[in-house]
Amino acid sequence: MAEQNKKLNMKGPQFRNLLFFLLLYIVGSPFLEPYPSLSVFAHISLSMLLFAAVYAVNRQNHQRSVAIALLLPLMVLYWLGIYDIVSFSRFGANLLFAVFYGLLVYSFTVQITHAQRVSTNVLFATLSLYLIIGLFWGSLYAMLENVSPGAYGGTLLENTQNTFHVFNYFSFVTLTTLGYGDITPQTAGASSLCQMEAIVGQFYTAVVVAWLVGMHVSNKHNKDFSGAIE
């Protein structure tokens, strides 16, 4: 048990660094895509995000080893897909992205649920997990579009060649249930994915916020009670 708690220890800058690279990629990289000479920096920021995510994965049950094993072929296929060197590389990269992000969701959820108090690292981890969920569904949308072209339609998809950022944007719009309508599902399968993400987004917000508030109030009550006894 002591060894397990040690492995699930959330001390350190891992989640702070991961959150920084997540925000850098999600917010900054779309501005670089229209400029071919600068778009490479968007791909580099994603690569740095993935490496930072590996170090935030806990080592219990060899989860970090699995993440590293997934990351290596993922990076190869991703960079091959950028330059269309291998025909199946984009689908393969999206598939590995979905598996990799799924592992991150599981690992981060385990670490957060084992937290004993609301700390800065727990808040970093909670927000990072929310953003990773958005990227996870974005990779599912991109993979579905690879398998079934035309599964999604809209003005943004018509006006861009690189749909990677577009599907990430659509994912976060769906996750937060904004529903701008500039991208819409065109098939039953695509609609099903959107429904599930919207449900997860609402469930996450309601449950996690309530859990954080409850744990903070409980810890404060226990601290005040211990102080009164002393």
pLDDT in tens, the chain (230 residues): 344 444 455 677 899 999 999 999 999 988 887 787 888 898 899 999 999 999 999 888 789 999 999 999 999 888 887 776 766 677 888 899 999 999 999 999 999 988 888 888 999 999 999 999 999 999 999 999 989 999 999 888 887 766 788 999 999 999 999 888 889 999 999 999 999 999 999 999 899 888 888 887 776 655 544 554 55
CATH number at residue 120: 1.10.287.70
pTM of the model: 0.88
pLDDT at 7: 44
Q: How many residues does the chain have?
A: 230
* Residue 193 near residue 144, CB atoms below 8 Å: yes
SS (H, E, C) the chain: CHHHHHHCCCCCCHHHHHHHHHHHHHHHHHHHCCCHHHHHHHHHHHHHHHHHHHHHCCCHHHHHHHHHHHHHHHHHHHHHHHCCCCCCHHHHHHHHHHHHHHHHHHHHHHHHHCCCCCCHHHHHHHHHHHHHHHHHHHHHHHHHHHHCCCCEEEHHHHCCCCCHHHHHHHHHHHHCCCCCCCEEECCHHHHHHHHHHHHHHHHHHHHHHHHHHHHHHHHHHHHHHHHHHC
Domain that holds residue 66: 2-229
pLDDT at 225: 46
pLDDT at 124: 93
- Rounded to whole angstroms, how far apart are CA atoms 108 and 15? 10
- Rounded to whole angstroms, how far apart are CA atoms 99 and 50? 13
**Residue for token pair 């269309």:** 84
pLDDT at 62: 86
Burial of 35 (0-12, 13-18, 19+ CB in 10 A): exposed
Question: Total structural domains in the chain?
Answer: 1
